[in-house]
Amino acid sequence: MRQAVVVIHGIGEQIPMETLRSFVDAVWTTDASLVDAGKPDSNSGGKRTANASWSKPDRRTRSFELRIVTTESGKNRRRTDFFEYYWAHRILDTTWQQLRAWFLELMLRNPVRDVPRGVLPVWILMWFVAAAALGVFLLTLLPDDVFALSWPVAAAVAGAAVLVTGAAGFLARYIGDVARYVKAKPANVARRQEIRENGVQLLETLMGIEPDGTLGPTSYDRIIVVGHSLGTIIAYDILTHAFARINALHNQSAANPCPQQARVELEQMLRVAAGLPVAPAPTPQPWSLDRFRAAQAEARTELNASGNPWIVSDFVTLGSPLTHAEFLMVRDRAHLSVAKTQRILPTCPPTLEYDRGTGLHHFTYRAPDLAALGKEDDPAAPRCPHHAALFAYTRWTNVYSPHRWIALGDLISGPLADAMGLEANGRKLSGITDIAVMPGAVERRRRFFTHTRYWKSRGPLPDPAPEHVRVLREALRLGDE
């Protein structure tokens, strides 16, 4: 069998395949642990210097600009296919008016209540830039003879005008992607739909789902989705809609009953952690992140046995702005909590709901065609996951770079436990593995603007790899049996 890795790039005018090639070099080509060192080079037949991979066209990407990168077999006798989901061409021609409207909405928020502490330095900087732009505008209203008499004033005005104009152009080209994607305004809806729909189609194709929704053969037994920067929000949305659509079409039915011991134990574990009533059996297990992640893998195996083709084993986010979800995606923290409770934004672990039949909280429900299988009040009777329960089956690893002020580290990123974790019974619970890198255990100095360096190093990748690359490799687990 094979495994597939889908990489979703971040903001900016990205070139097709650039992100994927550098990513493959870091996590496959230079990782000596994945292929037996004594195996001859798959290209030359001589001594091995790197792990081999080949780029070839593939219709599943639906783009002649994109190719998949497929690898030789590793120690686990498994090949890996790397796909790039490219979306940059779908958000073009962002206007300064669109960006200005988005900035205005963010800047008029209450800095005490509605601006997260991690974003506050940039929010203040935005006000300084706005004040500078206003100052330039007011100075241009002065009589011409003022500038003739005072050349320093004229030079200052000209310099400020150049800086403001340059900043506006830069923001429109890069930050404009965020402004256009995260807000469902009329001018953005079609673009958002195209990006999500094509991403869902790619995942469905890799899972063997035909255009009419029926199941066909698939070459893969595992899919890993990796997002960087804005690509993490896009990946999150694609996973959300893909799981909901697949779940509705391929949920367990009475025609294909399947034991759900792992699901029962997983729900029991979440009840214990949230301080909710538990079932008499199985024996409640204390919460631990490692145990939860192991249970996710077991529950996914059960899900597949029941006929659901969801094989996304891992979601890896790098430099994710989801840490600022309350600022970027909704109005404030209260609205974020509502969106998670209403299952608009899936959480990890998934949101629980009360079932009157069992008297317990579940992330699953009893579908009508399961009524004949087991008693209604039996928590172990077959059940179906609700549409936002994908993170009961997909592990989430978030890699971020701690920041200080604006330039040191990665201001865009941060831990996701608080933003995207479960809120239940007045408690907060996270199944997300948050890992801080750059600086790491060895290199303690702060780096400037680490947002684009999650799989890169200064110069050729050394051996052993730097900590942030090692962490990424471990999150992908390409060498797993």
Q: What is the pLDDT of residues 272-290, one digit of tens each?
A: 999 999 998 888 888 999 9
Q: Which residues have CB under 8 Å from 318's CB, separation 6+?
A: 226, 227, 228, 229, 232, 399, 400, 413, 454, 455, 472
Start and end residues for every CATH 3.40.50 domain found in the chain:
2-86+189-251+308-351+386-476
Which segment of 40-49, 294-303, 331-340 scores lowest on mean pLDDT? 40-49
Per the model's pLDDT, the better-predicted residue between 414 and 449 turns out to be 414
**How does 414-431 read in b/e, with b if 16+ C-beta sit within 10 Å?**
bbbbbbbbbbbeeeebbb
Closest alpha carbon to 106 in 128, 121, 126: 126
Q: Is 80 helix (H, G, I), strand (E, B) or coil?
A: strand
Residue 460 has pLDDT above 80, yes or no: no
Contact 296, 393 (CB under 8 A): yes
Per-residue pLDDT band for 440 (boundaries 50, 70, 90) equals very low
> CA 6 to CA 234: how far, in whole Å?
12
> Contact 310/302 with Cβ under 8 angstroms?
no
Split at pLDDT 50, 70, 90, the class of 39 is confident
pLDDT of 469 higher than 70? yes
Computed from CA positions of residues 390, 391, 392, 395, in that sequence, does the dihedral angle turn out positive or negative? Answer: positive
E runs forming strands in 229-352: 312-318
Q: Name which of 131-135, 238-242, 427-431 the model is least confident about.
A: 131-135
| pLDDT reading at 105 higher than 80 | no
Question: For residue 441, what pLDDT is reported?
Answer: 39
Amino acid letter, 30: T
Stronger pLDDT, 476 or 162, i.e. the higher one: 476
Question: What is the C-alpha to C-alpha distance for residues 385 and 401, in angstroms, rounded to an integer?
Answer: 34
Enter the pTM of the model. 0.90
pLDDT at 183: 82
Residue 369: the pLDDT is 72
Question: What confidence score (pLDDT) does residue 475 get?
Answer: 98
Q: Specify the CATH number of the domain 2-86+189-251+308-351+386-476.
A: 3.40.50
pLDDT of residue 145: 59
**The predicted structure's pLDDT at residue 442:** 41
